[in-house]
Structure formats: C-alpha cells, structure tokens
Amino acid sequence: MIRFYNGKVLTLCGFATEITDSEVWVDGDSIIYVGEKRVDSPLFEREIDLKGNLLMPSFKNAHSHSAMTFLRSFADDLPLKEWLFDRVFPLEDKLTPDKVYHLTKSAVLEYLSSGITAAMDMYFFPDACAQANIDCGFRTVICSGVGGSAEGVKRLEREWKHFTKLNPLVSYSMGFHAEYTCEYELLKGIGELAQEYKAPVFTHNSETENEVAECRARYGMTPTQLFESLHIYDNGGGGFHCVYLDDEDVEIFQRRKLHIVSCPASNAKLASGIAPLCRYAEKGISLGLGTDGAASNNALDMFREMYLATVLQKLSCADASAMPAETVLKMATSGSAHAMGLTDCDCIDAGKKADLIVVDLNQPNMQPVNNIVKNLVYSACKQNVVMTMVNGRILYENGEFFVGDSVDNIYNNANRIVKEICN
C-alpha cells in the first residue's frame, strides 16, 4: 500500500476544482482512501512525502497514433497533401509489428513524462501496440483504424473479441479510420456490428474542410450525417478532431451523447483549422483532448494541448474569457477518460483506479502561487511532472522511467527503425 501525504490534492471529482490538504492511499491498482490523516492507518510499503506539491488525476490522451514517433520532425513545414501522401503514407508501408512495438514504447516514455497515463491508440498492428503497452505497464484503449472494403467488418469483430479480454490494462473501442478511407459497404457493416454489440464507435470526423466537402459530394451529406444514417453512432462513440461540424452534426452529437476529441496542436500545425470548442461546450457535448501522432504535433504533451485548447478559442471567439482553464483541465482528464470509456480512471476518489501524477509546484513557472488550477493550464509544462502512476504502479519518478526496459534500449531501437525506414 502506498501513502501520499504532506501535499495538496486536486481530486477533480464532478465539477470540483478545489484543492485540499488530504492524503491519498493506493492499494494494488486502486485508490482506497482520500481524506485527513487517520489514526487507524495501516502499514504502508511506501510513504511518499509530497513536500507541498500537487497530487492530481493524470491526463488521458484520447486520440493518438503512438508508433508515429518515427516520423517526428521527419516532414514538417510542408503542405498537408504533400506531407500525407508523399511522406507519411509511403513510410508507413514499411512498418512491421516489431517496429510498431518499439516505436509505441518510445511514445509511452513521452506520455509518462507529460503526466499521461493512457492513450486511445489507432494504428497499424494493434497487437504489437497492445503488447508494448502491457510490457510497459501503460494503459491503452485500442481503437480500430479499419478501412477499405467490407472485409474490414470481420477484422473488427475479431479484434473486439480478442482485445476486450486481453489484459486489464487494455480495452478496445470499435472504430474505423475515416469516411474517406472506407468503402460504403464497410461503413454499413460497421453500423450493423455496432448495433449487434451495442458498441460505441470512434473515427476521424470532419478534420478538414476538404474532407467534409468530398463526403458531401459522394453522399450528399456530412460524415456525421452519413454515420448516423448507417446507425454507426446509435450506441455512442464520437469523433476525433471535429473541426468542421455543421448544426445538424452538432445536433446528432448532442442526441447520441457522442464525444468530441479535439487535437488543437495537430489541427494548427497542419493548418486544418480551429475546432469551435466553445460552441460545442455550450451545447453540452462532452469534450476530450488528444495529441494525435508525433508526425503532426510534434510533441505528445497534454500541457501544450490544454494551452492551445483555450487560447485558440480566445482568438477565434475574440474573447479573452472564452474556454476557462477549469474547463480545459477537465477536458484533459475526465473528459478524455470518459471518451475512452475509462470511467474508473477519471478522478481521485476511493474505488477509482490509481492513475495519478505529482506536479512540482516549486518551479519558477508555478511561482508565486495565486491560483494552482490556472497555473496548470497557463504556465505548467512537462518539467513540472515529477511522478506518474499507472494502475497503482509508479512508472516515472524524478526523471527516471520504470517500464521494464531501459530508456537507452528504447531510444536505440527507435533510432535503428528511423534509419531503416526514413533514410
């Protein structure tokens, strides 16, 4: 059993953002106590003196392609089409399960250093991805990125049966890559499968203006309206990016209680646009945040996403009060967790999974202290994350990683793969 004491605790339960001087006990994979020091306290394996620092729920990355770390800084500052078709796609053809395994581990290190404890991961070779996460002790939600012909439906059903039982750290979400990479029969089949299994479905949705225009040309409706017509969204789920939803789309998101996972850094760097998050929030739509892959961000850093999520709204709404820090912090923690189906990892409360971070407040960017929550969104960065715990295990502490493999080994493998693929 592990005890955290002598610090501040931000539980983020419900709508609360107040900070208390509680202590927190973790037993196995779960939080078992949050409250004042007790006289009947048990024997602890480890007692962690927070020294006034902040214990809070970890960030959850609700959209990523983890193994894309090999393309970090490989093809920046290029027009979107050239980036995707001439650079990204040809190199992805060279991936193998072994390569995805090692590259995913490289991303896991970065997640941990940024206080992220789970990613919703859509990429090639999901078995290799899941195994890398299991071996590191990291939590993952494998999201199918199926595309192409109706054959994909079988894969989706096979994956569903396989991944939902694989490991406590792994869960599965039905999904497909995007409207523009799926044949109509596949989309139709996915709708039927989702109904059969009562499964939520996630996909890239309305990331660019062009994507929506092409879908309208093909089907006479937007991607969201097409998915709705095919019953894909009958059991919930949601969209990654959602930069260009029209009013009818928004109404479908409301009615179906769909999640929007915004990726502001990726949308900015690829010049896709700014998702109107304030408009979505006003409609009561559940919002989460994702980093997208390292090829288009390029960091896997939830502090960056939070900062952009608020300041881009302030810019696009021409209103400095738009999208306050508290809302954005919820997006990066419970908002993402709920999109990912990780409802037991969303806050600090007895019975919840112990997915926690310690934030160093004794750094110049967090001083002097007027408001810790605003500091987290407007001035904190990776540097402030001094501990990351996943499922009750400390995987990152004071700059060191405990992921069952050496950091040098993970870097060397990633660089070897870069040489094999990119050069």
Judged by CB under 8 A, the chain residues 393 through 422 that form the site for its own copies are: 407, 411, 414-415, 417-418, 422
Q: Tokens 């690829």 appear where?
A: 270
Total residue length of the chain: 423
Minimum CB separation of residue 150 from its own copies in Å reads: 33
CA distances from 163 to 93, 143, 206, 224 (A): 24, 10, 27, 26
C-alpha span between 247 and 319 (Å, rounded): 22
C-alpha span between 68 and 333 (Å, rounded): 23
Is residue 321 a contact point for its own copies (CB under 8 A)? yes
Residue 261: CB partners within 8 Å, gap ≥ 6? Answer: 62, 63, 120, 202, 238, 239, 240, 241, 242, 287, 288, 289, 290, 336, 339
Which of 162, 216, 314, 393 binds its own copies (CB under 8 A)? It is 314
Minimum CB separation of residue 306 from its own copies in Å reads: 12
Minimum CB separation of residue 250 from its own copies in Å reads: 22
Q: Pick the stretch among 123-131, 174-182, 346-354, 361-369 that binds its own copies (CB under 8 A).
A: 361-369
Minimum CB separation of residue 396 from its own copies in Å reads: 10
E-assigned strands of 233-384?
237-241, 259-262, 286-289, 356-359
Which of 220, 284, 351, 368 binds its own copies (CB under 8 A)? It is 368
Minimum CB separation of residue 323 from its own copies in Å reads: 8
Q: Which two tokens stand for residue 217?
A: 């040309």
Which of 72, 139, 256, 259 binds its own copies (CB under 8 A)? It is 72
Is residue 18 a contact point for its own copies (CB under 8 A)? no
Which is nearer to its own copies, 215 or 323 (by Cβ)? 323
Instruction: Tell the burial category of 153 from Cβ atoms under 10 Å away from its Cβ (0-12, 13-18, 19+).
Output: buried
Which is nearer to its own copies, 257 or 374 (by Cβ)? 374
Which of 4, 5, 59, 83 binds its own copies (CB under 8 A)? It is 83
User: 267 to 296, contacts with its own copies by CB under 8 A?
Assistant: 268-271, 273-274, 294
Which of 217, 247, 318, 400 binds its own copies (CB under 8 A)? It is 318
DSSP state letter for 222: -
Give the N- to C-terminal CA distance of the chain in Å, as an integer. Answer: 48
